[in-house]
Structure formats: C-alpha cells, structure tokens
Amino acid sequence: MSTEFNGSTPGLILRDSSSALVGGVEPPPPQAHLSDSNSSSSLKTSVSEKDEKEAWMPLDELGRDGVSGRDIPISSEKQEGRGNDTPVARLDLEHQDSSWQAGPPAASLCGAGDATVYPEGGLQAWLVVLGSFCGMLSSFGFMNSIGVFQGYLSTHQLKDYSEGTIGWIFSVYVFLAFFGGLQIGPVFDAKGPFWLILAGSIVFTLSIFLMSICTQYWHFMLVIGILGGTGTSLIFTPSIGAIGHFFHAKRGSATGLAATGGSLGGIIFPLMLQSLFPKVGFAWAVRILAFIVASLCLIAISLVRSRLPPKANSSILPDFTILRDPAFALVTAGVFCMEWGLFIPVTFLGTYVLESEMPDSAAFTYQVLAILNAGSCLGRYLPGLFADRIGRFNAMICALFLCTLTTSSLWLPACLLSTAHPAAKPLTILYALLFGFASGSNISLTPVCVGQLCATEEY
C-alpha cells in the first residue's frame, strides 16, 4: 500500500500491493505530518485502548466513499490476527490540526509542477480583490474614458491638430500601460506589490493634476502619454498579479470581478466629465477627477498584498527565455495583435460620433462611451466566471470572435449609412453595448490565460 499524487488532481491515492485503487483522500494541510515506522506510513493518535482497536478496519468494510468523503489522514497496514491478505486502513488523528473538518478543504492545489496551495477565498483574499478593484477603477477607468478626452481636445486645446496626430497621445498612453508590465512584472516577483502601487499612484495622480494646466501638444504627450501610461502600468500590473497568489481554480472569476472596476470607471468618469466641463471648465473637471483617483489609489495601496514570499535571488530584469516556449510565444503574439484591434473603438468611437453629426452628437459622445463600458462591466466578469468551467483560452477565443462579428455587422454598416439615416444611431448604441461586452474579457482573461502557462511565482 502506498500513497501518491495522481496527475494534476489534488488528493492522496492509496494503492494496495496489487496496485488496485482503494480510495482517495484530500491531502493533509501543511501543519500535518506523516511519521514513518517499520516501513509503514501512519499518523499516530492519542486515543484510548478501545478507540485504538476501533481505529483499525478493513478497507473493504470502510469502502471507497468512507475514505474519500473524509478529510482524515489514513495509513494502511496489515493488522495482526486479520491475515496477510486483508488490507486495513487506520484512521489516526494524533497530529490532526484542530482546524481539520469533515469534507474537502477550502484550499486547492494547482496542477502538476507547482505545489502551491491556494486559499481560494477568505477575508484577506477578497480584500485583495477589493483593492485591485479600486486600482482598476482609477487607472483603467481613466483608460476607458480616453475617448472623452480625445473628442474634447480635438475641439478645444488641440483643435489645430488632426485626429490622427492627437490619437498618438493616447496611443503612447495605452502602449506604456501594457508594455510597462514587461519590467514591472519581475519587480513585483522580487519585491511585492506595495511599493509599485504606491509609486504608480503618485505618478498617475500627478499626471492628471498636471493635465489640468496643459495647453500645448507636447504638454499632453508628456503628461498623459508618458507619465499617465507609466503610472497606469505601475498600478495595473501588481493589482492583477496579486490576485493570482490567492486564487487558482477561481482565478478567472476573481480577476474578472476586479477588472469590472475599470468598466465601472468608464461609465462614471465620462458622464461626470460631461456634466462638469460646461459647469466648472476643463481644468477643475480634471482636478476633481484627480481627487477621486487619489482616493481610490489609497484604498488599493492599503489592501493589495502578495501572499507568496518574494523569489530568492530573483532578478528584476525581464526573462526573455520564457519565449522559447512555443505556446507562450504564440499567446504573446496573439495578445499583442488583440490589443491593437480592441483599443481602436475604445479610442475613436466617441470621435466618430462627434464627427458624424448625429442628433445631439456632443452629448451622445459621452453617453456612447458609458454604454460601451456598461457592456464591458458584464463582459469582464461573466467570461471569467465561465472560463473557470469551459477553459480560459476557449472563453477568450469566443469573446474575440464576438468582437469581430459585432464590428463587421454593426459598426461598419453604421459608418456606411448616412448620418441622417434613422438606423445609424441605434446601430451605434447596439454596437457599443455588444462590443463592450465582448471586449471586456481582454483585461480579465488575458492575465489568467498567461498565468496558465507559467508557475504562480512567475505570474
């Protein structure tokens, strides 16, 4: 009789001398330990002599369910007086921790090659999700509102520049927000999330305050494109990475729940700015946004923590050797192309509405972005929830297919129709809602898909 781990399914598998499967038992928590005596693996127990005798029973009497249904360590030996052909199970509980309870443990083990135990919940884990939610609400809420600033700047401070030239400001911002993770990720592995989120909060909040006094093109490029993009990356990368330290089986749904913060910000910020711009002007509207962002960042700084210890002697430089793995290299290339496609509507949908001169186009510019992000709220959580059941990559492929379908069947016809056509505006609204839902998964599913290809300490 021996104990072993079978594949990626957590649980001790007992086999007798003929290698027949006898029963499965959840592995003991780290506090419990096995004692070895006379080539027999057993856990000693402090029970009475009567209980000692009752603790032995034949495995055929105990039954498979009798073993696998209990979260109790067992050993199998041959008991004197029962003969050599009768395997028996001994339920020994001397070293059983008081926290052990009947039924499977709340924690889970990841797949083969990574022996990390994940809490899969608990107060600390959900507080990290809340902190990540606030970090995403501030950073990605701003990112999902860049269409508002694109449209406003093209008719005010930067009205002498073309849409393409203004778009470079926000292209640099989005690029740095994601590209910065290449360097920030190794620092997170080595040092944890606290200092990264603190630095990102300072840089990002400062960039929004400075944006309120910008007047020239190079001002906006420096403040929004470079400072804002760097600050967003410093907040976003460790906020998402920390969730992976607490969840494995539920990583998709937990990450999706945190990612809804960015969509919620994409609903609140455009509508808020629509109301504030005519009342208090651009400068104070942006400053009010900066104060809100600072408050949310303080919550993220306070709550986001890592659970696993920093990697010993780990380098803070990117490790490109992981790209030797064909699967990882293909996913990296795929995500690179995906981001190019998904952020075009997010950036230019508001400008399209403004330039198309639809009825009430000025007000509709803000509203259409709020509609897009309302769909994205569901799109960031629900695909992550289903991804834990149908597969993370399967869910991602379905979402990208829906993005392609909605763009070709809704936005393209809306662009071809005359702006005076009564169907143009309804098609744009429907497109914003459905594309928002489909594209929302890129934030929640990309990290968990990548995390499926590497160990947690490298996530």
Mean pLDDT, residues 99-108 taken together: 41
In a shared domain, residues 91 and 122:
no
Q: Is the pLDDT of residue 347 over 90?
A: no
448 residue type, one letter: V
Backbone CA torsion sign across 369, 370, 375, 381 = positive
Closest C-alpha to 364, from 377, 375, 354: 354
pLDDT at residue 220, rounded to an integer? 96
Contacts 24+ apart (CB under 8 A), 29-33: 29/97, 29/99, 29/100, 29/105, 29/107, 29/117, 30/117, 31/97, 31/99, 32/73, 32/95, 32/96, 32/97, 32/100, 33/95
- Predicted TM-score of the model (pTM): 0.65
175 inside domain:
yes
Scored b (16 or more CB within 10 A) or e, 20-54 reads: eebbbbbbbeeeeeeeeeeeebbbebeeeeeeeee
For residues 322 and 314, give the distance between their C-alpha atoms in angstroms, rounded to a whole number: 15
In a shared domain, residues 147 and 70:
no
Q: Is the pLDDT of residue 174 over 70?
A: yes
For residues 403 and 195, give the distance between their C-alpha atoms in angstroms, rounded to a whole number: 36
* Of 338 and 62, more confident: 338
- What is the domain count for the chain? 2
Mean pLDDT, residues 288-305 taken together: 95
78 inside domain:
yes
pLDDT at residue 115, rounded to an integer? 54
Q: Please identify which residue in the block is written with the tokens 């052909």.
A: 85
112 inside domain:
no
Backbone CA torsion sign across 279, 285, 291, 292 = positive
Contact 197, 135 (CB under 8 A): yes
pLDDT at residue 19, rounded to an integer? 41
In this structure, the number of other CB atoms found within 10 A of the CB of residue 7 comes to 9
Q: Is the pLDDT of residue 72 over 60?
A: no
In a shared domain, residues 295 and 403:
yes
In a shared domain, residues 231 and 360:
yes
Range of the domain at 252: 117-458
CATH code, domain with 132? 1.20.1250.20
In a shared domain, residues 206 and 313:
yes
Give the model confidence (pLDDT) of 316-333 as tens digits: 777 778 788 888 889 888
Closest C-alpha to 22, from 78, 84, 76: 76
110 inside domain:
no
Last residue of a domain, one of 72, 105, 138: 105
Backbone CA torsion sign across 165, 170, 174, 180 = positive
pLDDT at residue 306, rounded to an integer? 82
In a shared domain, residues 200 and 319:
yes
pLDDT at residue 321, rounded to an integer? 81
In a shared domain, residues 316 and 437:
yes
Last residue of a domain, one of 41, 72, 105: 105
401 inside domain:
yes
- Could you give the angle at which helices 361-390 and 441-451 cross, rounded to 10 degrees? 30
In a shared domain, residues 96 and 129:
no
94 inside domain:
yes
Average pLDDT, the chain: 76
Q: What angle do CA 119, 124, 129 make, to 5 degrees?
A: 90
In a shared domain, residues 77 and 145:
no
In a shared domain, residues 141 and 185:
yes
Give the model confidence (pLDDT) of 367-409 as tens digits: 888 899 888 888 888 887 788 788 888 989 999 999 999 999 9
pLDDT at residue 73, rounded to an integer? 42
Give the model confidence (pLDDT) of 14-63 as tens digits: 444 444 444 444 444 444 444 344 434 343 444 444 444 444 444 444 44
In a shared domain, residues 88 and 214:
no
Q: Is the pLDDT of residue 142 over 90?
A: yes
* Least confident range of 206-215, 238-247, 320-329, 418-427: 418-427
In a shared domain, residues 100 and 122:
no
308 inside domain:
yes
56 inside domain:
yes
Q: Is the pLDDT of residue 256 over 70?
A: yes
Last residue of a domain, one of 78, 105, 132: 105
Closest C-alpha to 443, from 361, 373, 358, 389: 373
Contact 354, 414 (CB under 8 A): no
Q: Is the pLDDT of residue 243 over 50?
A: yes
For residues 342 and 435, give the distance between their C-alpha atoms in angstroms, rounded to a whole number: 9
Name the β-bridge partners of 109. 117
* Of 362 and 178, more confident: 178
Encoded tokens for 206 = 């400062």
